[in-house]
């Protein structure tokens, strides 16, 4: 009985302390526009058609300023492009190679084995071209922001007019979800800014959703494999742990 009481004490103590603490920490956060992504959850999978639409958005809109330098053209196979399609996509990019036998650098068409060619030669060129604001590489952006895909989706949908009597800086835009609310990137998407090959209506939210899904894939291309292997592994471990409990009970039985 004594033991029970002291345990109860502890639980009550923990609750009284941690409850008000959790209230503190819930403070100044903006609620993100949470979506039901198909890649969430333990059985999460990417929707390849959405990823391909998102890739189109990336290529036609984002790629003007943002690279995805950790992704190779050959990786597009994972989202359903054929080898020939990948080759022709890669062929649209020019990459600097060399030096050749004459010791000179030269331009050549990118190969599937190359990484995606970014829009700028180096970071400083990127800054100069964008009023000093560096457009970050997008390959890891979903992993590199608190809130992940929901944050990115919210950001793309979060552009508003400046509220009245807000001291706006020049060349900055107002975004509800951006930390500090002033972002150097103008709203990148609008209705019908791309035309989808599969006939999906290219609304603002649809585009935001597709490109977010695509960037979730570039950040975690291993996600599907990870989750399916995870389910199998957990099933195996649960099974063997139950069996080990049986073994343990059997061995210990003769002590009782």
Partner 1 sequence: MKELNTNTKNKPTPVDEEKRDFLFITTAGLAIAGGGAFAWSMIDTMNPSKDVLALSTTEVDLSPLEEGQSLTVMWRGKPIFIRHRSESEISSADNVSVDDLPHKETDESRVKNPKWLVVVGVCSHLGCVPLGQKVGDTKGEYGGWFCPCHGSHYDTSGRIRKGPAPLNLEIPPYEFVSDDIIRIG
Partner 2 sequence: MNNQENKQTGITGWIDKRLPVFTFINHNLRDYPTPKNLNYFWNFGSLAGITLVIMIVTGILLAMQYTANTDIAFDSVERIMRDVNNGWLLRYIHMNGASMFFIIVYIHIFRGLYYGSYKYPREILWMLGVVILLLMMATAFMGYVLPWGQMSFWGATVITNLFSAFPVIGDYIVTFLWGGFSVDNPTLSRFFVLHYLLPFAIVGVVALHLVALHQFGSNNPTGLDVKSSGDTIPFHPYYTVKDYFGLGVFLIIYAALVFFAPNFLGHPDNYIPANPLQTPAHIVPEWYFLPFYAILRAVPDKLTGVLLMFAAVLVLFLLPWLDKHKVRSATFRPFYKQFYWLFFINAIVLGWVGAMPAEGVYVLIARIASVYYFSFFLIIMPLLSRFEKVGELPSSISAAVLSKKFDKDTNESYAK
Contact positions vs partner 1 (CB under 8 A)? 72, 74, 112-113, 236-237, 239-240, 243-244, 246-247, 250-251, 254-256
Report the half-sphere exposure of 76 (CA within 13 A, side-chain side). Answer: 26
Question: Length of the chain, please?
Answer: 256
Give the SS3 label for residue 43.
coil
- Provide, rounded to whole angstroms, the least separation between the CB of residue 212 and partner 2: 15
Backbone φ and ψ for 179, nearest 5 degrees, come out as: -60, 125
113 binds, among partner 1, partner 2, none (CB under 5 to 8 A by kind): partner 1
13 binds, among partner 1, partner 2, none (CB under 5 to 8 A by kind): partner 2
Which residue in this structure is represented by tokens 């700028």?
A: 120
- Provide, rounded to whole angstroms, the least separation between the CB of residue 88 and partner 1: 16
CA-based nearest residue to 226, from 1, 6, 44? 44
Residue 105, judged by CB atoms within 10 A of its CB (0-12, 13-18, 19+), counts as: exposed
Segment contacting partner 2 (CB under 8 A): 6-14, 31-39, 46-54, 190-198? 6-14
234 binds, among partner 1, partner 2, none (CB under 5 to 8 A by kind): partner 2
Nearer to partner 2, 101 or 255 (CB): 255
Backbone φ and ψ for 84, nearest 5 degrees, come out as: -65, -40
Contact predicate 184/129, CB 8 Å = no
Contact predicate 191/204, CB 8 Å = yes
How far apart are alpha carbons 198 and 189 in whole angstroms? 19
- Provide, rounded to whole angstroms, the least separation between the CB of residue 25 and partner 2: 7
112 binds, among partner 1, partner 2, none (CB under 5 to 8 A by kind): partner 1
Contact predicate 220/142, CB 8 Å = yes
Say if residue 211 is preceded by a cis peptide, omega within 30 of 0.
no
Binding map of partner 2 across residues 66-95, x = CB under 8 A, - = no contact:
----xx---x--------------------
Q: What is the four-CA torsion angle of 152, 156, 157, 162, rounded to 10 degrees?
A: 120
Q: Is 26 in the site for partner 2 (CB under 8 A)?
A: no
21 binds, among partner 1, partner 2, none (CB under 5 to 8 A by kind): partner 2
Binding map of partner 2 across residues 28-57, x = CB under 8 A, - = no contact:
--------------x---------------
Q: Which residues bind partner 2 (CB under 8 A)?
A: 6, 9-10, 13-14, 17, 21, 24-25, 42, 70-71, 75, 136, 139-140, 143-146, 148, 179, 219, 221-222, 225-227, 229-231, 233-234, 237-238, 240-241, 244-245, 247-248, 251-252, 255
């Amino acid at each position: 009985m004594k033991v029970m009481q002291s345990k109860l004490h502890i639980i009550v103590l923990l609750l009284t302390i941690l409850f008000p603490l959790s209230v503190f920490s819930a403070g100044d956060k903006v609620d993100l526009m949470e979506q039901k992504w198909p890649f969430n959850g333990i059985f999460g999978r990417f929707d390849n058609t959405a990823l391909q639409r998102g890739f189109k958005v990336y290529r036609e809109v984002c790629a003007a300023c943002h690279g995805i330098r950790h992704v190779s053209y050959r990786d597009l196979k994972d989202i359903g492009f054929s080898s020939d399609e990948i080759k022709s996509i890669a062929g649209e990019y020019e990459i600097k190679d060399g030096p050749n036998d004459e010791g000179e650098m030269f331009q050549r068409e990118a190969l599937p084995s190359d990484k995606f060619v970014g829009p700028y030669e180096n970071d400083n060129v990127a800054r100069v071209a964008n009023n000093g604001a560096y457009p970050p590489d997008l390959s890891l952006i979903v992993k590199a922001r608190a809130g992940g895909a929901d944050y990115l989706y919210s950001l793309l949908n979060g552009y508003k007019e400046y509220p009245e009597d807000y001291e706006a800086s020049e060349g900055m835009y107002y975004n509800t979800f951006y930390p500090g609310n002033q972002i150097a990137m103008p709203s990148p998407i609008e209705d019908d800014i791309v035309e989808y090959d599969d006939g999906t209506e290219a609304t603002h939210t649809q585009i935001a959703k597709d490109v977010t899904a695509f960037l979730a894939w570039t950040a975690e291309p291993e996600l599907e494999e990870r989750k399916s292997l995870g389910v199998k592994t957990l099933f195996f471990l649960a099974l063997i742990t139950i069996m080990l409990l049986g073994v343990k009970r059997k061995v210990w039985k003769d002590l009782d």
